[in-house]
Chain A
């Protein structure tokens, strides 16, 4: 029983530290021509889902071209798993004044 409990605690800790590809992850809403939140910190392996709430078309496109949602209509979403630690800036190619950043921290 004690071993099983320790195992469960260890599993929970592991899950919290390094979300598996199956976890829901964070959500960035695209609303009123802005990324909400505009700055987000996640851990390696975590997924981020971008949801377009606007009637206008938007994209979430990495400045270094490493990922790109391409065009999203209202209600459409796109999910990306961040595997590499670092800071990445992104923007909407249809509205280049829209900017966001995602900091990816190494999972311990």
Chain B
């Protein structure tokens, strides 16, 4: 689907009404007979506070992503930031991130990455800046919107292990999903990939298979993650996974000889081409476009 079509579909989301200009010049609302799509945007890994050579202006590149989303003719129902909003969980970093993200025209939802919950104060600062009042446990949440069931998981900050949901959250997820019909479209968010993207680099969720087992009975499931600063897609039955580009810096592709995870410096002038955000529409199944900041 082309961007113009996507925008057109999203325009009628929610209300389910189509406004038609009649021959008499009067605008009337009618039921929209076209397939309805629900649009949202994913932003990830902004690492506000990073000052290294891979990006000397992480606030600026997050600002570019926000500006690109704000410029969309039809605003998304929400923007989800899938974690690592900050680099070191410092109070000033959360302040800077909030200042930039608060300029989004669309409602903002965030989940934390491991960089947002460093030290004793990190989780408190994250909660003060971004916590949702409807969240349960350590901040995970679920909601229904546009006929879709959304689940925002937290797979960082569970003891010493990064990429861990924990039994309490898995029990909550089992209860939450039990009440949903199999034909309900499900979209799941988490910071660390739920599937084994590169376990040797910590790019997996240790108990992710338990969550995947709970999702398997649904006809259309989309799992969107951040953490690895690149687009990587994976499919497991009816469950589709996609990781997103960062707004801060890229990381190496898993399997690259002699590479290791961490900020990757690219040639001068090409940074914006490897940073970006994702537009998503759900009309039964989800479809998405990954856009770079060079395109915006």
Q: List residues of chain A with CB under 8 Å of any chain B CB.
A: 32-33, 54-57, 59, 61, 63, 68, 70-74, 91, 93-97
Contacts and interface: CB of A to CB of B under 8 A. Distances in A.
Nearest to B49: A73
Contacts, number: 66
Contacts of B54: 55
A55 B263 contact: yes
Nearest to A98: B202
A73 B88 contact: yes
26 contacts: A33-B262, A54-B262, A55-B52, A56-B261, A57-B87, A59-B119, A70-B88, A70-B119, A71-B89, A71-B90, A71-B115, A71-B119, A71-B122, A72-B88, A73-B50, A73-B52, A73-B88, A74-B52, A93-B114, A93-B117, A94-B118, A96-B160, A96-B161, A96-B162, A96-B202, A97-B202
A56 B162 CA distance: 16
B226 to A, nearest CB: 14
Nearest to A63: B160
B120 interface: yes
A33 B49 CA distance: 19
Interface of A is mostly: loop
Contact of A70 (B49, B89, B202, B261): B89
B51 interface: yes
Interface of B: 49-54, 87-90, 114-115, 117-122, 160-162, 202, 260-263
A30 B243 CA distance: 28
Contact of B160 (A32, A73, A93): A93
A108 to B, nearest CB: 34
Given A56-B262, A59-B119, A71-B119, A95 B53 contact: no
Given A33-B262, A55-B263, 13 more contacts: A55-B52, A55-B53, A57-B88, A59-B119, A61-B119, A70-B88, A70-B122, A71-B88, A73-B87, A74-B52, A93-B118, A95-B162, A96-B161
